Every structure is written in structure tokens, then in C-alpha cells.
Structure 1
Amino acid sequence: MKTLAIGDIHGGLKALIQLIERLKITKQDTLIFLGDYIDGWSESAQVIQYLMELSKTYTCVFIKGNHDVWCEDWLRTHECDSVWLEHGGKGTVDSYKLFSEAEKKQHLNFFEAMRLYYIDTEKRLFVHAGFTSVHGVEYEYSTRNFYFDRTLWEMALIMDKRIKKDSELYPNRLKHYKEIYIGHTPTINYSKVKPMHAVNVWNVDTGAAFTGKLSAIDIETKEVFQSDTLKDLYPEELGRNKS
């Protein structure tokens, strides 16, 4: 029985299918997706459809990312956020051209049911980006931080490893959870192609939207599974790369 945290997919259905095959999951396993299912490669709507079907057979937890919030708003209002269009939204809208209004409504329901965060029985937190409250996620002032915040990861990266958890200098944000699993900030920004670990925070976004791979990590063993590089899976596309 495994629990696997899966990083940002960004419309890469081929990578998602490949990763799921490599995970060799059973019905006793749990898949925790960390958000940003869409915007990037050309199969965003198809990723959502695949995940909806996957969840009928396997135990899945779906965390909501910032790109998912934009798409959810569009599916609800039919109005496109200009910032979203500049960050992959146009490709996502295009991917929905062959979907009926009834199917789009099903996808909207799927987005609306996503969690802002998930805490398991071992006090491990799963959230797309981060949070800012020193008292924990239940006390977060703005829900936007769950899918936009980068300060949690930045703090973890620069933290002095000599500071012990019982020290008054140890960040209160980190004390509430055994481990924290996030996406949102690609590890390729730090020239790392696999999930990164800093203090008790694990970043599983390995840049699938850009030049990286889609990754999953077994939260018990810390074994990492990856797809092929998405640029190789979609050789005729740019994803969210500039060129």
C-alpha cells in the first residue's frame, strides 16, 4: 500500500499516462495530485478527463493549483482572464473545442470539488504552493496563498540546518506538520531534475510545463518515479517554453 505525491502536469497527458504505468499502482494505493493539471501542453482538457476516469478506480486526492483556479473560473463564467491566457490558458481553451457543454459542466464540477490542501493521518500536509499563517493552514487569512504562495518554499531553502525544531528560531509554519509536499515552483529553476527536499518540505514540481519531467514520489520510501521529458513527448510543441 503506497501513497504517491504527483507534481504539476500542465496538460501533458502523454507524460501522465506514462508515469501512471511506471508507478504500477494497485487499488490499495493512494495518489495525491498537487495541482496545475492544465496549461502548457496541448491536452489539458484530456488530462482532466483522464483523471476523472482514474479516480473511479483508484483512490485519488486532487489539490487545486493556481492554473486550475483560472480554468475553473472560465468554465463557470465563459470569461477568460487575460493573465491566464498569457500563462497557458489559450492552449487550454483550444483543448476544450471538441468537448460538449455537458462535458465542460462535468469538468467544472471536478474543479470545484478539488481540495485547497490535504492533511493525512500522519500530519503530512499536501498543498499546491504554500501558506503564510504561523498557526497552520486552518488559520490562513487568504486562500489564494494555498495556490500562489512561494515564501514557504523560499524559507525552507534558505533555512539554517543547524536550527533544531525545539528552538524558538525554528519557523512555526514548519512545526505543525511532519512533512509538507508542494508543487508550483519548478525544481529546474534550481538546476534540479528530481523532487527537492529542504527541511521538512518536498517540492515535486520538476518542470513538466517546461523542459522537465512529470514526477511522483513515494512519501514513505522517497522513491522517485518520472516520465520522459515532455519536450520529447510533444516534439512539435513548446509547452510553456518561450522557444
Structure 2
Amino acid sequence: MRTVVIGDIHGGLKGLKQVFERMDLKQDDRFIFVGDYVDGWSESAETISYLINFSEKYECVFIRGNHDALLYNFLKKGDNNPTWLQHGGESSKKSYENLSEGEVKAHINFLENLRNYFVDEENRLYLHAGFTNLHGPEYEYYPNMVYWDRTLWEMVCALDNSISEEDDTYPKRLKLFKEIYIGHTPVTRVGFTKPANFANVWNVDTGAAFKGAVSVINADTKEVWQSDPVWQLYPNEDGRN
């Protein structure tokens, strides 16, 4: 069984379908999605529908991203957060205009059942953004930190590689898990186009919301598959650019 990790999608369903076509899906694959399925390109609602159907055929773990939480607040509570609208929410709202009441309810149910984090049998942690508590994400005082935090990624990017894990100054957060898989902060901001690794953290957000691709990585072998840059698949749209 392969454990494959899917980075941020941001409504770029064409990119997700394309990368799946390129990786030869296997029936016993386990798919772990690290969140941010929506807000960006024009197919946010269509992406959620696709994922619901996809999960009926394959073993899936769906992690909650900050954009997914914002969309949920809109669908469930009518929250038109102006910051959300400016950062991809407007395109998500538009994508929901033609859905039936039943379809919207199914999407609300999907969003309600997203997981804040997941730890597999090899002690690999999967979450959208990061965590700050030295004892792990389950101990966060503010649970939504796990899909908003950027300090974990910033820390490993700046970490001195000469520091041993046995050193008292080595970040205790990193010692809790064999590996940590995140999205949330595009690796393109630090000069990468493929999933990037610092210390034991792998970031699989390759900027699909902007000029990058949707990426998938095999957690066991580190083989990577990517779509074309998603903006090329939506030539008449701006995404979040």
C-alpha cells in the first residue's frame, strides 16, 4: 500500500485530475489530503464534489485547511468574511451558486468531518499548517492553530543543519514524529517548485493557487508527481494572483 500526500488544491480541479492521471492510481493506495481544497480557481464546489465521490472508491484522509474552515463558516453560518472574500472566497461563493440544497448539505457534512490532523502507523504526522505546543497538536490551546500556524515551517527553513537532535537547543516539536507533512505556505516563496524538505518536515504546497502545480508525494519513497502549473489550465482566470 502506498501512502500518498496531496498538497493544496485551491479549486484547481483540473490540476488534481491531471496529477492523478499521471501517477497510475492503485486500488490499495491511501490518499492523505492536507487541506485547502477551495478558494482560488473557479472549481471549488466541483472539487469538493469530486473528493466526496473519490473517497467512495479509495481510502482517504481529509485534513482541514484554513480556507476550508472559512468556506464552512460561509455555507453553514452565512459568514461573508471580507478577508476571505479577497483571498479566494469570492470564487468559491460563485461556484456554489448553482448547487442544489442537498448538494450544499453534503458539502457542509464533508467540511464538518475534516480532520485537524492525522498520525499514521509509522508515527508520521499530517496537518495543514503546523503546531506550536511542545507536546503535539492535540495539546494546542487554540485548536485552529493547526490550520493557521506558519511558525513550524519558518522554523525548519531557518534551522541550523549542524545542530544535532540530541542537542538541548534542537526544537522539541520535531522530535515527536518521524516525519511531518504540511501545506499552507507555498514552497515557491523559498525558491522551490516541488515538495520541499527541511529537517523532518515536508511541505507539499507547491503554489497551485498562484503559479505552481498541484503536487503529490509518496510518503514512503518520496516519489513526486505534479500537474502542469494550474494557472495554465485556467487561462481565462486570475486565481489568487
Task: Please classify the TM superposition score into its range, dividing by the shorter chain length.
Answer: over 0.9
Q: Secondary structure at the match of 2:146?
A: helix
The answer to whether residue 8 in structure 2 is matched with residue 5 in structure 1 is no
Q: 1:211 maps to what in 2? A: 211
- Where do residues 78-157 of structure 1 align in structure 2 (5 Å cutoff)? 78-157=78-157
CA distance in 2, matches of 1:12, 1:151: 26
Shift of 1:230: 0.8
Shift of 1:78: 2.0
Q: Secondary structure at the match of 1:89?
A: helix
Q: 2:22 maps to what in 1? A: 22
CA distance in 2, matches of 1:41, 1:30: 26
Q: Any stretches of 5+ residues in structure 2 without a counterpart?
A: none
Q: 1:74 maps to what in 2? A: 74
Q: Secondary structure at the match of 1:228?
A: coil
Q: Secondary structure at the match of 1:79?
A: coil
Q: Secondary structure at the match of 2:240?
A: coil
The answer to whether residue 231 in structure 2 is matched with residue 231 in structure 1 is yes
Q: Secondary structure at the match of 2:214?
A: strand
Deviations along 1:134-174, one digit per CA (max 9) or x if unpaired, are 11112111112101100000110111111111221111100
- State TM-score, norm by structure 2: 0.98
Deviations along 1:157-211, one digit per CA (max 9) or x if unpaired, are 1111111112211111000000000000001111210011000000000000000
Corresponding residue pairs, total: 241
Using the TM superposition, name which of 160-169 and 206-215 deviates more. Answer: 160-169
CA distance in 1, matches of 2:212, 2:191: 10
- Where do residues 124-203 of structure 1 align in structure 2 (5 Å cutoff)? 124-203=124-203
CA distance in 1, matches of 2:162, 2:192: 23
Which segments of structure 1 move beyond 3 Å, counting only runs of 4 or more?
none
CA distance in 2, matches of 1:79, 1:140: 25
Q: 2:51 maps to what in 1? A: 51
Shift of 1:79: 2.6
- State TM-score, norm by structure 1: 0.98
Percent of paired sites with the same residue:
53
CA distance in 2, matches of 1:127, 1:162: 27
CA distance in 1, matches of 2:210, 2:58: 28
CA distance in 2, matches of 1:79, 1:158: 37
Deviations along 1:27-86, one digit per CA (max 9) or x if unpaired, are 211000000000000000000000000000000100000000000111111231111101
